[in-house]
Structure 1
Amino acid sequence: MSIRTRFTIWRPLATAATAALLATFLTPAAAQAAPRESQPVYSYENAVREAVWVDTGLDGDSDGKTDRVAVDIVRPREPAQQGRKVPVIMDASPYYSCCGRGNESQLKTYDANGNVVQMPLFYDNYFVPRGYAFVGVDLAGTNRSDGCVDVGGRSDIQSAKAVVDWLNGRATAYTTRSGTTRSKATWTNGKTGMIGKSWDGTIANGVAATGVKGLKTIVPISAISTWYDYYFSKGAPLYDSGPDWLSDYVDSPDARAKCAAVQQKLVDQAPRTGDWTPLWTERDYVKDASKVKASVFLIHGMQDLNVRMQHVGPWWDALARNGVERKVWLSQTGHVDPFDFRRATWVDTLHRWFDHELLGYDNGIDREPMADIERHPDQWVTSKSWPPRGTATTTLRPAEGTQEGVGTLGLAKGTGTETFTDNPALSETDWAAQIDTSTPDKAGFATGPLTKDLRLSGSSKVTVTATPTTSTAHLSAVLVDLGPDTIRDYGASGEGISTLTDRTCWGVSTTGDSACFKETQAKTAAVDYTVVSRGWADLGNHANPGKGVPLTPGKAYTITLDLGATDHVVPAGHRLALIVAGTDKDLIDPPSTTPTLKIDLSRTSARVPLVGGASAFAYATEGAATAVPEATPLEGVTAPRTVQRVPGGAE
């Protein structure tokens, strides 16, 4: 296997003496100039590796003792010897022993003294030589921690928050799991940045929403912002299991023996009806966005069908309303880490972000465009703000077509009806492939071929008025770009990437912890259509998004579906389509009956965030509407305010 090294120039690791010698060769101006980038001047091989157990103040496993969470630390030895303190990069995860982290599913490994040998991912290898400590936290109930996993609840969040408190001198830690010898974090200045993908990034969101002091930035990758939206969409179940399954999946053997009561609570308070309960309120971080003091660098795949884009819009919008400093990357991938779809740029950008946020270096990253968006595989564009200014919600209305097959989609009010029967064997891609053919399982509507590019940027809402034939019904709404393209194959294994055999190295390796990882490349597919955004609902939740009721057959109901945020350009020559149907196979579960639904098109519409608003739509469709309605303020994801940091500072 060939090994390729990323760094063509790797500076010798310097001791304090060599650093001082280097300074003597600098001019006075150069020696005093403010640094713009941290350098790998500390020894990784000689780094301090230690473990502490932080008291969370909770007794989740009801054993009469407060739970302690295990914290594995890798930090440079030299700064403490020089009397200097370092900032912390932290990944709090339930996956360090059960499932692994990253594309290669790495686990923590330990030496005979119980100190970490391999820390998953590249963060410690890369950042410890640059003057950061890396901290890997086992969530309560996992690996070497006490307590119980409660899937995004108080125990999960307190597991990580308590560590931030300890790093800032506000909590107690011990040198062993059950001992009495205390350990103080005298080596850190308390400035902490949290990072992680999926559940790990979700914990970062949740801790930031507590407003804990000392947390300066978070980097949530493919992360949840409210757990209800992970399991349900307005009552429509997204998975055939609840949080109790996920908790059991990551529980340590100790937790499985002690946490039956917590498991039962996760069953009882997360009913499969999709009703909103206090359990979901506790796990809704969006409602507490006003407490966020940390900056946020958010990364998400626009085709992530695990943690779906519904988690991006409300969270981003709430952060914007509260003036939180933020940055975003939106890829064409599914549930994939940026290390595996844009590696070199990602490491460089993350390095500069942490240098700016944790070391205070003026490297200009805060003055760069807010958003990076993958427009085609490995082809990225930037946006000064996101969504871009000039974006406005435009109401598009479906209407019956003049010929068999697809209806029309435009600015004029729709007329007529469409009828379809739920078919749980079909999915959004099946519907899109048959958009121009009348089929009994969907209602489809499309513009004519566009004469100009049309950009969607933000979150859409689709309001549907439907009359069911049965007492239960689920709805799906899908926006589709109809036209040929080459996209990342997010539906295949790898969710848009292929893993290669060659490795590249990102930091310093030791015998037990390699900094070299398998390279990847884009896995692409040629398509005739691209699903841009989708959303779902249980029609029984028409009156209350958090409470479902039986339907009366033959009665019309109106409900609004929240579609995931996106940023997509429908190019000239393509068509924009709206599909309304029932069960979206593999994305929501079917209802208990098989309803036929009649859609009232005069009371059905899509509110779509278009750059340029209704005028841009009319221009792209050659003024097909007789009049251009006034654009309404953008809903869902809004145009951001001027960026300012709040005073004082979530597989």
Structure 2
Amino acid sequence: MKTRILALASSLAVAAPLAIGTLGEAHAAPTSAIDNPPVTLVGGMTSPRYDYTNAIRETVWVDTPDLDGDGKAERIATDIIRPRELDGTARVPVIMDASPYYLSLGRGNETEYKEYAPDGSPTKFPLYYDNYFVPRGYAFVAVDMAGTARSTGCTDEGGRSDVESAKAVVEWLNGKGSAHDSTGAIVQATWSNGSTGMIGKSYDGTLANGVAATGVDGLKTIVPISAISSWYDYNRWQGAVKSRHYASSLSRTIAQRRTIPTDCSSRLNYMDANDADATGAHTDFWAERDYRAGSLYDASKVKASVFIVHGLQDNNVKTMNASKWWDDLGKQGVARKMWLSRLGHVDPFDHDRQEWVTTLNRWFDHELMGIDNGIDREPAVRVETAPNQWETSKTWPTQSARTMSLSPRADGTLALGTPERGTAGYVNNSRLTEANAVALGANPNRVQLLTGTTTQDVRISGTPTVDLGVTHGAQAGQVSVMLVDYGAMDRVSATGDGALTLGTETCWGAATTADDACYKDVTRRLQSTQLQVLARGWARLDGPGQHDVTVELAANDVVVPAGHQLGLIVSGASNGVIAVDTSPGMYTLDLRSTRLNLPVSGPMSGFAPGHLTAKDTDNLDRGTLPSLDETLWPR
């Protein structure tokens, strides 16, 4: 293993920032400071060089304009840890995790909270980022989102207040804006070289997405883990509402244990009045909270590189938040990387720890320190298509994926070929559970359509859709759709999002008595099951009569083994998820208008074929139906 000691010089000079405010005096940046710290490379990665125990630990409050409508500017609590040896001699890049959870619900698998000394200085930073990266020459910055912990303001469920509070810290780190310490003195980030990378899971990663979508200068990369890119796609599914007044409920929850009592009732009432629960519509309220193509923020503004991490079995933050973000960023030419695991809402630190930390180390080295370690020339995508079976590719969905359309038959099968005339009916049942809906056999509350068994492994890669013609008599109804893999095998369990915490632990970085770097090991929770739901989707159907609707299911990338069969389940209400119409009315499915569109990689003969007519054969040349010739389908 080769060791190298480098002093890295940034190609971007950071000008001495100007103070904005009336208190104190700005500290000019040390004129002799270099724009990147000396680092030690081992195996091409930065390695420990600086003393974590003696690192500078401090808190500042970054100033922002009024974000909650009370006419007062906000103060965003920002806890910092950075190498003491570099103070005044080198500016350092920043790894930043902005969160609403530092004092409310805690961070990580072991629910860690921030802790402070009697003088108010931070003694414990949740998670391992500080322990691991500060000794390697980085600063770590943990930001309390507006309305949470020690920051002023009110929470906003992904809206302007949330995003702008984190953005202000990125700007301050880049020499813009102002901050104050506990005495009220103005503080400038003269130690920062202006390059920030944001990281975080769930809400934290969502803030990273939102800040990137502002186009703020100084944000060089983000690593959103299990993160939201559109709050509408988190709270809704094609107009179907999964819970009422969720925005205000979540905002109350994350404001727990905040240290600055604030009356946020007007903001909460605004959310309840504008969340459009009654209609499920994508209103201006949701447009503000859409980072892909919203009214305030969108993918076209993103300058930072993006490393997306998501679980393909995440039923909390649904996979469309990753898949659509990935697509939109690609259309804008954003540098991208992505990991997709078979688990649910789980941090990769907790399911592939060694591989993840090594990859993250190399990613930040490349994006924030400019180290040419080749990570940008490696396959951009890593996907777990079966338990512990990973595939890499340059693109996603996999380049070999093509859409195969299957149509229902009157006998309840799904096959290639021209749709048959006919109908299938089911009685809406608001108490229908998913387990009952997917079980094989007769059930009056859903329609079940099955393919033949697969003759060889088939990979589904991308976003399935289902075209439906549904008739009902309610003033407002709904349709629930599931794609199911029927066949016994060991799968990553849905219990605990597929993660099993063990009694052993490993350590990742330096430590103090107040802040260790040791975390319990986690493994995949494997379970032998007879079936698995691969993708779900819902849609609201307003008004009685026939509705022709295309339901977009959750994106996935999974191998269906030979000998299994796929099932399409169509029902009305879904117990505990969607219940627009709770009456026991009849819903009718028009078979001729129904089609399952699957993004498939592999030979089409992997599915039991249906009967192709002469017309269907002609359509093959025009690309409207897939070919059964497996030589046309690269594996």
Same fold, TM exceeding 0.5?
yes
**1:37 corresponds to 2:41:** no
Alpha-carbon offset, residue 244 of structure 1: 0.2
- For 1:23, the equivalent position in structure 2 comes to none
Counterpart CA distance in 2 for 1:424 and 1:255 is 43
Cα deviations across residues 217-260 of structure 1 (Å, max 9, x unaligned)?
A: 11111111111111111221122442000001111556663211
Alignment partner of 1:369 out of 379, 382, 387:
379
The AA in structure 1 aligned to 2:353 is: R
**1:528 corresponds to 2:523:** no
The AA in structure 2 aligned to 1:49 is: R
SS at 1:87 equivalent: strand
Counterpart CA distance in 2 for 1:526 and 1:631 is 39
Counterpart CA distance in 1 for 2:527 and 2:353 is 21
- For 2:10, the equivalent position in structure 1 comes to none
Counterpart CA distance in 1 for 2:378 and 2:434 is 37
Alignment partner of 1:557 out of 547, 550, 565:
547
- For 2:83, the equivalent position in structure 1 comes to 76
- For 2:581, the equivalent position in structure 1 comes to 591
**1:475 corresponds to 2:475:** no
Q: Is the 8 A contact 2:96 2:141 kept in 1?
A: yes
- Structure 2, unmatched stretches of 5+, are 7-38, 627-635
Q: Is the 8 A contact 1:206 1:285 kept in 2?
A: yes
Q: 1:412 to 1:427 in 2, by over 3 A?
A: farther
Structure number with higher relative contact order (C-alpha < 8 Å, ≥ 6 residues apart): 1
- For 1:202, the equivalent position in structure 2 comes to 206
The AA in structure 1 aligned to 2:344 is: G
**1:281 corresponds to 2:262:** no
**1:46 corresponds to 2:50:** no
**1:259 corresponds to 2:264:** yes
Cα deviations across residues 601-627 of structure 1 (Å, max 9, x unaligned)?
A: 111112221225xxx334543575444
Q: Is the 8 A contact 1:148 1:255 kept in 2?
A: no
Counterpart CA distance in 2 for 1:633 and 1:104 is 50
The AA in structure 1 aligned to 2:460 is: L
| Number of positions where the alignment pairs a residue of Structure 1 with one of Structure 2 | 581
Counterpart CA distance in 1 for 2:189 and 2:417 is 61
**1:268 corresponds to 2:276:** no
Counterpart CA distance in 1 for 2:625 and 2:153 is 46
**1:314 corresponds to 2:304:** no
Counterpart CA distance in 2 for 1:419 and 1:198 is 39
Counterpart CA distance in 1 for 2:64 and 2:578 is 37
Alignment partner of 1:212 out of 197, 210, 216:
216
The AA in structure 1 aligned to 2:81 is: V
**1:423 corresponds to 2:446:** no
The AA in structure 1 aligned to 2:269 is: Q
Alignment partner of 2:367 out of 340, 343, 357:
357
Q: 1:333 to 1:503 in 2, by over 3 A?
A: same
Counterpart CA distance in 1 for 2:432 and 2:470 is 20
Counterpart CA distance in 1 for 2:393 and 2:517 is 32
Q: 1:190 to 1:34 in 2, by over 3 A?
A: farther
The AA in structure 1 aligned to 2:286 is: W
Q: 1:259 to 1:34 in 2, by over 3 A?
A: same
- For 1:102, the equivalent position in structure 2 comes to 108
Q: Is the 8 A contact 1:393 1:632 kept in 2?
A: no
Counterpart CA distance in 1 for 2:52 and 2:173 is 21
Counterpart CA distance in 2 for 1:34 and 1:171 is 37
The AA in structure 2 aligned to 1:399 is: R
**1:568 corresponds to 2:558:** yes
- For 1:55, the equivalent position in structure 2 comes to 63
Cα deviations across residues 399-420 of structure 1 (Å, max 9, x unaligned)?
A: 221xxxx432334323311111
Counterpart CA distance in 2 for 1:162 and 1:441 is 52
Alignment partner of 1:91 out of 91, 97, 102:
97
Q: 1:329 to 1:427 in 2, by over 3 A?
A: farther
Identity %, equivalent residues: 46
Counterpart CA distance in 1 for 2:377 and 2:420 is 45
Alignment partner of 1:617 out of 583, 590, 604:
604
SS at 1:430 equivalent: helix
Counterpart CA distance in 2 for 1:322 and 1:61 is 34
TM-score by length of 2: 0.87
Q: 1:631 to 1:289 in 2, by over 3 A?
A: farther
Q: 1:109 to 1:255 in 2, by over 3 A?
A: closer
Q: Is the 8 A contact 2:60 2:78 kept in 1?
A: yes
Cα deviations across residues 364-394 of structure 1 (Å, max 9, x unaligned)?
A: 1112122212233333222232112132333
Counterpart CA distance in 2 for 1:388 and 1:633 is 19
- For 1:245, the equivalent position in structure 2 comes to 249
The AA in structure 2 aligned to 1:621 is: A
Q: Is the 8 A contact 1:453 1:620 kept in 2?
A: no
Q: Is the 8 A contact 2:573 2:582 kept in 1?
A: no
Counterpart CA distance in 1 for 2:565 and 2:375 is 37
The AA in structure 2 aligned to 1:328 is: M
Cα deviations across residues 566-617 of structure 1 (Å, max 9, x unaligned)?
A: 10111221112211111223332352433321000111112221225xxx33
Counterpart CA distance in 1 for 2:76 and 2:41 is 41
Counterpart CA distance in 2 for 1:576 and 1:383 is 25
Q: 1:211 to 1:462 in 2, by over 3 A?
A: same
Cα deviations across residues 452-489 of structure 1 (Å, max 9, x unaligned)?
A: 22211111221211110322221111111111111111
- For 2:408, the equivalent position in structure 1 comes to 398
- For 2:499, the equivalent position in structure 1 comes to 497
Q: Which moved more, 1:191-200 or 1:328-337?
A: 328-337
Q: Is the 8 A contact 1:466 1:597 kept in 2?
A: yes
SS at 1:504 equivalent: strand
Cα deviations across residues 515-535 of structure 1 (Å, max 9, x unaligned)?
A: 000111211111111211111
Cα deviations across residues 630-650 of structure 1 (Å, max 9, x unaligned)?
A: 44699xxxxxxxxxxxxxxxx
